[in-house]
Amino acid sequence: MRKLRGTEPTVFERRAPSADAVDHALAGAAHQVFWLDGLTRPAHPELIDQHAADLVIVGAGYTGLWTAIRAKERDPGRRVIILEAGQVGWAASGRNGGFCEASLTHGEENGRSRWPEEYDRLERLGRENLAGIVATVERYAMDVELERTGTLSVATEDHQIAWLAEEAGFLDGPATRELVDSPTFLAGSWDRDDTVLVHPGKLVLELARVATDLGVQIFEQSRVEVVDEGPVVRTARGEVHADHVVLATNVFPSLLRRNRLQTVPVYDYVLVTEPLSTEQKAAIGWQGRQGLADLANHFHYYRLTADDRILFGGYDAVYHWGGRVRSAYEDRPETYVKLAGHLLTTFPQLEGLLISHRWAGAIDTCSRFCAFYGTARQGRVAYAAGFTGLGVGASRFAADVMLDHLAGAPTERTELAMVRERPLPFPPEPLASLGIRLTDWSMHRADRRQGRRNLLLKGLDAVGMGFDS
């Protein structure tokens, strides 16, 4: 067990399972995204030759697809084209945890500390946005396995109990373990209303289905190389002349130079188990099927799938020198071993459990932990990025902000300080790597020192800058 000076080991280190148990669990795990495994996806053509549109959207993840749907809902006659470099939903939108949260600010603490005056409004807008997502799913009969389970936050260290004690849904240890039985749970708080769970892969493909039903044209394998004056959006083999452009490119290099240092890619890792047997389910409870999250700086998120597998992700947040997005970064054996060990520590009743899938994805981390927005080219190009691991719900709000911006008249959304302000950029290399490593080390240390933050973390808190996944 690695011990930092002046620190105590975490519960995952104190109660680590044997190396053999971890190896056994991981032995047959395919390096494949569970959510996309076996889904039928309609093919979309590549963009070739010249086209014209009222609105061109770059990127076919949640942000791009919600923008297309919201644009068509506002004005059904609008000609909308989406250009996607790979396939619809192959990136973060097809491989996330499926926690669809009301929060637009990466949680209340982050939002309230940055925008105390408008936080109540942000909370209301976030809840309206979540209700809008649920209503859309119902309106278009989208098969996305939506479950209104809420989230159960759990304390796994003594010092974390106080962090939950003030919350309305506070549960002591026995009451928490009554809901989900883990010996690591010391307290909990169940927020029933502000999170729904979805099947991320089905959500992104269903959004594409609805968009095409509304008349949106989607082109795949059509990487946009440049947005020229006009605006004209160019790929290797085609171009679109448009009135307006939306950039929904998330963690990938921004087509606008001004945004290149606004986000860094941080790799997040996920495991999915084989379906639990009836006996295994009985051993852990979890009848309410809540989304779970523990509370350390390096936290885990976990949930059940429709066929009762456990998805278990998070903890390591890995940045690579140079800030590139590369598939080679997605296989990181030491992280999968760590995650599998933490899963078995959480549910020792499940020893012998097998993991079927392992994968990773890049998170578009920005220094304020929630999306930023803006326009370029005399207001004809709009962008949103920087969801920092909480974009399943917030991407729909971002779509509305971008359409408001392109429409040109101020709205409640565009007047928000959260929308008008830009986050501090990350420094270029080598400072980015150095700063992120030091911050990550400090966060590990805080998790082992009853949550106490060192001078670096306090300094970053004071200037409103941080690093998270």
Question: Given the rule CB under 6 A, which residues bind ligand FAD?
Answer: 58-64, 83-86, 90-93, 95-99, 101, 223-224, 248-252, 255, 268, 270, 313, 361-363, 387, 389-393, 395
Q: Which is nearer to ligand FAD, 16 or 81 (CB)?
A: 81
- Calculate the alpha carbon distances from 422 to 23, 169, 387, 389 in Å: 45, 34, 13, 18
Q: Which is nearer to ligand FAD, 323 or 389 (CB)?
A: 389
CB of 109 to ligand FAD, least distance (A): 17
Mapping DSSP onto H, E and C, the string for 187-235 reads EEEEECCCEEECCHHHHHHHHHHHHHHCCCEEECCCCCCEEECCCEEEC
CA distance 109 to 79: 41
CB of 291 to ligand FAD, least distance (A): 8
CB of 387 to ligand FAD, least distance (A): 4
Backbone angles phi, psi at 436, to 5 degrees: -70, -40
Q: In the block, which residue shows the tokens 């986050």?
A: 423
CA distance 416 to 115: 9
CB of 172 to ligand FAD, least distance (A): 27
Q: Which is nearer to ligand FAD, 234 or 449 (CB)?
A: 234
- Calculate the alpha carbon distances from 41 to 21, 37, 68, 94, 469 in Å: 37, 11, 19, 12, 29
3-state DSSP assignment of residue 434: helix
Q: Which is nearer to ligand FAD, 221 or 349 (CB)?
A: 221
CB of 339 to ligand FAD, least distance (A): 12
CA distance 255 to 382: 11
CA distance 195 to 97: 12
Residue nearest to ligand FAD (CB): 391
Q: Which is nearer to ligand FAD, 197 or 344 (CB)?
A: 197
CB of 151 to ligand FAD, least distance (A): 10
Q: Which is nearer to ligand FAD, 91 or 186 (CB)?
A: 91
Q: Which is nearer to ligand FAD, 12 or 219 (CB)?
A: 219
Backbone angles phi, psi at 273, to 5 degrees: -90, 170
CB of 4 to ligand FAD, least distance (A): 26
